[in-house]
Amino acid sequence: MARHLITSAIPYINGIKHLGNLVGSQLPADLYARYLRGRGHEVLYLCATDEHGTPAELAAAKAGKPVDEYCAEMWSVQKRLSDGFRLGFDHFGRSSSPQNRRLTQHLAVRLHEAGLIEEVREKQVYSKADGRFLPDRYIEGTCPNCGYDKARGDQCENCTKQLDPTDLIAPRSAISGATDLEVRETRHLYLRQSVMRRALSDWIDTKADWPLLTTSIARKWLNDGDGLQDRGITRDLDWGIPVQFEGAPWQGMEGKVFYVWFDAPIEYLACAAEWAEAQGLEAEAWERWWRTDKGAADVRYTQFMGKDNVPFHTLSFPATLMGANHDGTEPWKLVDYIKSFNYLNYDGGQFSTSQGRGVFMDDALDILPADYWRWWLLSHAPENSDSEFTWENFQASVNKDLADVLGNFVSRVTKFCRSKFGEAVPEGGVYGPQEQALTDRLSARIGDYEAHMEAIEIRKAAGALRAIWVEGNEYLQEAAPWATFKEDPAQAAAQIRLALNLVRLYAVLSAPFIPDAAQAMLTAMKTDDTSWPDDVPAALGHLAPGHAFEVPDVLFAKITDEAREDWQARFSGTRG
């Protein structure tokens, strides 16, 4: 049994997330965590809400609420929706937690001791209309690189290019829309990332197994122009982790907070501390997951994120952890594997939280149960390129894969058995060449499925799982127990006994993708045994003759053309 630490990029607190956000980090992380748990590994899967910075302040102001109250309310909303999608976090934390405050301030001090924090006097945009300095995310304008007219002052979300506010064309205040901006001098702390460039490059060189998307983005940031640049880690904001605190090695930083991209990744560590406290564990129990001198050396750490988050997780966050261990006394666990994703687009355009375009998590759950969405999103995950959600494709995938292949198999087997043998696994007959051939094919296909899951090849894993479901349908067609029953009822009993065991096998294998349907299959088979099928012949004999079962309700209802057309029209414009 191995130990696995899994984190997914923590979502901003500002509003409900869309399906593109979901498939870009949290959902595939949940898939992987469920698979590893199913194989018997020890897993700690962490996520949290990212509550500091401009998005929180702007969203709270728009809602007419104090920012702390707004964040608390939205954390509850995001937690409810993550539960609705069956995201099995061990802990869903908050970056505004006391634990994150302590760790962020502590790591900043460690970086200062290492000579990696520099105080810089710089020019910053000041808005006369708003009466304040504008942090980079409070400034919008046209990207000088791609021409996107809603680029932010830190990064263009369209082309992902790192920006400074002064780079923007026709800049304006994101608060008031004012264009009467001027540049004034202020003081900020900078993380001297440039000093860490060689160490980061050498570290990335050791990650030959990382996806090309991940390493190509990291190397682009390392090598473009003058290479990795020093980065400001403080901002002029009211809401956030204070820069000036007791024991701080700098002075005169009152009224400033740490930049959200500095403190947000540190919440991964803090979230483990929150988890330990919530579990009533010793205060240091979380460190066995994060300190290599306290047990984390044998942990495999995997991160999941969209490609826009890659630069900070491959460079800035590792620089923070490496720099904090400058004297060897704080060996923090660095990520072993980063699974990054391209974008999921929506029906000919883009999903957009800021513009409210697309299907959002609450809307999705109002329409259909979580498993419908989980299956489509994971089987169409944007791994190697951007992918697109269309209602036609969604309907076809649900109807063919879930209703026709899996659901139809379970229904046919259980109803036939009930009508001919009653609601118990029938006895009689023997397994012959057909059953042996099926067992051999299943063993090979399950091996493929496991290999893809281990490699976090999500679309391939979904394809392998579907192929396993297809094997059951093809066996039924070939064996034809309804015909066999007329001539040899005992042999038909053996065929159905095997098929009922396939239902339990499918439940175990499918649980990472469609956990609710998997549980429904286990409930119908009246078993809670979820042991992984390391021995396929044994798994196909797990439900012995006489074991009771029941016919489940329809696992997956087909999506009608009328329903699809209605949803397509309903979500064709901006979210209201």
One-character DSSP codes across 302-328 = EEEEEGGGHHIIIIIHHHHHHHHTTTS
Strand pairing category for 169-173 and 139-142: antiparallel
Calpha distance 408→426 (Å, rounded): 20
Residues 225, 226, 231, 232: is their CA dihedral positive or negative? Answer: negative
CB 299 within 8 A of CB 289: yes
Instruction: State the pLDDT at residue 62.
Output: 87
Q: Cα separation of 5 and 46, whole Å?
A: 8
pLDDT of residue 353: 64
Looking at residue 232, what DSSP letter applies?
E
pLDDT tens, position by position, 343-373: 999 988 887 766 667 899 999 999 999 999 9
Burial class (CB in 10 A: 0-12, 13-18, 19+), 348: exposed
pLDDT for the residue 51: 96
CA distance 390 to 373: 12
Between CA 46 and CA 89 the distance in angstroms is 6
CA distances from 93 to 4, 89, 105 (A): 19, 10, 18
Q: Which phi and psi (to 5°) does residue 359 adopt?
A: -95, 125
- Round to the nearest angstrom and report the end-to-end CA distance of the chain: 48
In the numeric block, the tokens 């109807």 are attached to: 399
Residue 149 dihedral angles phi and psi, to the nearest 5°: -90, 5
Task: Give residue 347's pLDDT.
Answer: 86
Q: Does the annotation place 159 within a ligand binding site?
A: yes
Q: What is the pLDDT of residues 91-110, one digit of tens each?
A: 999 999 999 999 999 999 99
The whole-model pTM stands at 0.92
Low-confidence ranges of the chain (pLDDT < 70): 225-226, 353-356, 573-576
Q: How many helices (H) and strands (E) does the chain have?
A: 21, 17
Flag whether 484 is marked binding: no
**pLDDT tens, position by position, 326-340:** 999 999 999 999 999
| Average model confidence (pLDDT) across the chain | 94
Q: What local confidence, expressed as pLDDT, does residue 354 receive?
A: 62
CA geometry: angle 562, 567, 573, nearest 5 deg? 140
The answer to the question of whether 353 is labelled as a binding residue is: yes
- For residue 493, what pLDDT is reported? 97
Rounded Cα–Cα distance for residues 535 and 532 (Å) = 8
Other Cβ atoms closer than 10 A to 218: 25
Question: What are the tokens at 32?
Answer: 């992987």
CA distances to 220, 222, 289, 330, 336 from 326, rounded to whole Å, are 26, 21, 20, 8, 20
- Cβ-Cβ contacts under 8 Å for 471 (sequence gap 6 or more): 438, 441, 442, 445
Alpha-carbon span 304 to 50, nearest angstrom: 15
Structure-token match 């999608």, residue found? 85
Secondary structure of residue 170 in the 3-state scheme: strand
- Kindly list the distances between the CA atom of residue 273 and the CA atoms of 45, 72, 99, 105, 411, in Å, as whole numbers in the listed order: 13, 19, 7, 15, 46
For the chain, what's the residue count?
576
- Provide the greatest CA pair distance for the chain: 92
Q: Is 156 annotated as a binding residue?
A: yes
Find the helix or strand (DSSP H, E) in which 371 lies: helix 370-379
Which domains can be identified in the chain, with CATH numbers? Answer: 395-539 (1.10.730.10)
